[in-house]
A and B are shown apart, each in its own frame.
Chain A
Amino acid sequence: MNDNTVLKIKSISKEFSKVKVLNNVSLSLRKGECLGLIGENGAGKSTLIKIINGIYYPSGGNLEIEGKAVDIKDSHTAKSLGISMVPQEFNLIPTLNVFENIFLGNEIKLSNGLLDKIEMRKIANNLLDQLKTNISVEEKISQLSVAEKQMVEVSKALINDSKIIIFDEPTTTLTSHEIEVLFELIRGLKEAGVSLVFVSHKLHEVKEICERVAILRDGNLICVKNVEDVDEQYMAQQMVGREITKIFPQKRDSLVGDRSVLRVEKMNLTRKVIDASIHLKKGEILGLAGLVGAGRTELAECIMGLRHKKSGEIFINEKKVDIPNPRVAINNSLAYISEDRQGRGIHLIFDIPTNTTMISLKKYVKNCLLDKDLIHKKSSEYIDVFNTKAASLKNALKFLSGGNQQKVYLAKCMDTNPEILILDEPTRGIDINAKSEIYQFISELQEKGMSIIVISSELEEIIGLCNRVYVLREGKICGELTGEDINEEEIMYYATGVKVM
């Protein structure tokens, strides 16, 4: 046994309603190291970190901290043992300000029982200085950017004197500059002797920041390797259990027709979208690139009738249409996959058939009643088409992994028989294997003549998929790229304002 082992995971298993999601996983975390934890969706990463953090209780096995067996019954116990998590979905209270959030649950009190706000402000200020951010402690959380919120989460972990900090896919919503800042911070934490678990899908980040990497597949620990000894290709292969030749299908510009199926003229949405005009051709995969907050989602939601545009016109098949609400958009053969899968896309407490047929439910009405057999038949067809993994159709979606949830969400949209599909961050928080399946599916849809808009912050996704790309910056369309011009440099030039159309 290594002397500087901080956390020892000893043959942990976990079952959910008889489905084994973790099988005899043993792993140790050393002092001052950053351990990468990678695996596909449903491999058991989230379950494992939730067990460490006391959110789930293991069905078998136990945990040791610094050689002593511990029983982590809830997240409060985890906290008192010095374990913190920076979750993917932040646990901050938007109406409170920064220092109140940092001290949430750890408030400093005066002898008379009131809060010592002066002291808390001072400590929070010092902490934020150490983290080299210039967030004000008085700022309301709702005013902060995603990256700043993450810094607050990290501060929350630090105030708690954490020995172990778990980062759950911390970089999904960050820009590359913000990622650099985060990595600098992680390096600092390592030097201070804090042990980190870094859960990610981005293998090059694991390569950059971690010392060792643990790879999970189907609930089993496949291997733990020194990062120096392995390359990204190897990690990806171990995750999937087979060789991945290529993620993106062949781009086919020949499938793009001449006819425009969707045309947007001078769309305006107060402060978010400014005079945006775009068109989408039959059979085209069109990318909307840009930094987070450039107005891509807002533009899509205006088209779908989810937001009320200030001005602008929409033409479908060159016919002017008025789309006041999403139902009219659906009736015009539009479908939209939101970037916020769990908050806007699917009902987590409902089962697969209920979710799959939510938009298209009208199709299944016979004599005023729903044809449940037909609903089940159709849903299981989609399960086959998408290779969705679930113990049963009756599973509530909260028990499915992110990738499988996304597949149900796709099925939900496909069941409305759209001709124009808008995909907003279609592979956010999804592993390589599910990603490549979804790319394959998008390509098949193109082959069938569907016209698709892809909104993505992952440049390689835009580059790998799209026949044509618009780049947005601060609500304006500031660039249009085709063919060879669709590359990382060009997109970033336009996205950051170096080049203007």
Chain B
Amino acid sequence: MGKKLFNFKDNGKNKQQFKLSEHTTLIGFLCLVVLASILGWPDFLRMRNIITLLRQVSYTGIIALGMTLIIISGGFDLSVGSMTAFAGGVAIFAMNKFTSNIALGVAVGVLVSLSFATLLGLINGLLVTKGKIAPFIATLGTMSIYRSLIIYFAKAGNIESLNTAYGNIGSGVILGLPVPVWCFFILAIFLQIFLDDTKTGKYICAVGANEQVAKYSAINLDKIKLIPYVITGFTVGVSALLWSSRLNCINPSDCSGYELDAIAAVVIGGTPMSGGIGSVLGTVIGAIMLGIINNMLVLAGVSSYLQQAAKGLVIIIAVLVQYKKEK
């Protein structure tokens, strides 16, 4: 008795200690980079290859950022792929109403893409919180609905943009990096700070970790559970904007399977499906790891049909490592 284990000075010391087991995502990432550099020498490390790789992962990566928050809050979203195509299509549709003024058209395109996707995210969130429908089921439903509506609007054909300037957004390059990559990184940093350093971010973790405790801690469950869906709607809007302007066109079957890539990036990035904890920057690493694996397989000339199998394998390994860690 009387032995006081707690000592505030210890705290600083603990911070500096680097625990290998806590950084499995980063270690996996570094191993993969080294492996890819050796196997893909010298093509993998070429600047052009890396930039292409980053651009490729940005579209699903941006969506995965929002998905990270949903999964931390204890939710799930299957509808993001359909949402991307739907929002992108509606944005081009709206923009084409303003053919006379190119600048105004682009502004409308950006605004509609972001706000419409945010609205779709809000619908998902309301179904889960007010409708009390399990996230998996609610978003399975909206996944079908959003996809069906865009196919109907597009009359099963392409929705092509008549605006000549719109395409500059998605294919633009700033300081050597494509615009989608900038969006990906900036949003990631922003959301990581949101998660770590704001009240709402902490409450999202609290709700995901234990809803009952959150309720007894006077946290407004419905509001906090809704926010990640709305944020995901917004990130989907960003992705839809970049994707549709890159091609200056949307095909109603675009972006199917994005939900799985996004969830894979979250899981590989070290955020457990059980909720409560997780990292947005981890998801960035997860998305890039998925890209590297695809890239390696392409460089090695492996059939593209096998790429999905490789992805599946990585997801399973990532979860196995996490499970070990928890135990």
Contact = CB atoms under 8 A, between A and B. Distances in A.
Partners in one complex: yes
A390 B206 CA distance: 21
B220 A327 contact: yes
A347 B213 contact: yes
A12 B199 CA distance: 44
Given A361-B199, A368-B198, A345 B6 contact: no
Contacts of A387: 4
Q: In the complex, which of the residues A329, A344, A392 has the most CB atoms of chain B within 10 Å of its own CB atom?
A: A392
B167 to A, nearest CB: 36
A122 interface: no
A498 interface: no
Contacts of A306: 215-216
B interface, by DSSP: helix, strand, loop or mixed? helix
Contacts of A365: 198-199
Contact of A329 (B4, B212, B218): B218
A350 B209 contact: yes
Nearest to A341: B213
B3 interface: yes
Given A388-B6, A394-B14, A325 B1 contact: no
Interface string B79-114: 000000000000000000000000000000000000
Contact of A358 (B4, B6, B10, B217): B217
Interface residues of B, number: 30
Q: Is the interface on chain A under 10, 10 to 19, 20 to 34, or 35 or more residues?
A: 35 or more
A365 B210 CA distance: 23
Interface string B217-257: 11110000000000000000000000000000000000000
B311 interface: no
Interface string B270-284: 000000110000000
Q: In the complex, which of the residues B6, B216, B218, B219 has the most CB atoms of chain A within 10 Å of its own CB atom?
A: B218
B6 A391 contact: yes
A129 to B, nearest CB: 37
Nearest to B205: A350
Contacts of B197: 369-370, 372
Nearest to B10: A392
Interface string A365-398: 1001110100010001001000111111110000
A344 B212 contact: yes
22 contacts: A19-B5, A217-B1, A326-B216, A327-B218, A338-B216, A343-B212, A343-B213, A344-B213, A344-B215, A345-B213, A349-B209, A349-B277, A350-B206, A358-B202, A358-B206, A359-B217, A361-B199, A364-B199, A368-B198, A370-B199, A370-B202, A392-B14
Interface of A: 19, 217-218, 240-242, 306, 325-327, 329-330, 336, 338, 343-350, 354, 358-359, 361-362, 364-365, 368-370, 372, 376, 380, 383, 387-394, 412, 433
Interface of B: 1, 3-6, 8, 10-11, 14-15, 193, 197-199, 202-203, 205-206, 209-210, 212-213, 215-220, 276-277
Given A390-B5, A394-B14, 10 more contacts: A306-B216, A349-B277, A350-B276, A358-B219, A368-B198, A370-B199, A380-B8, A392-B6, A392-B10, A412-B217
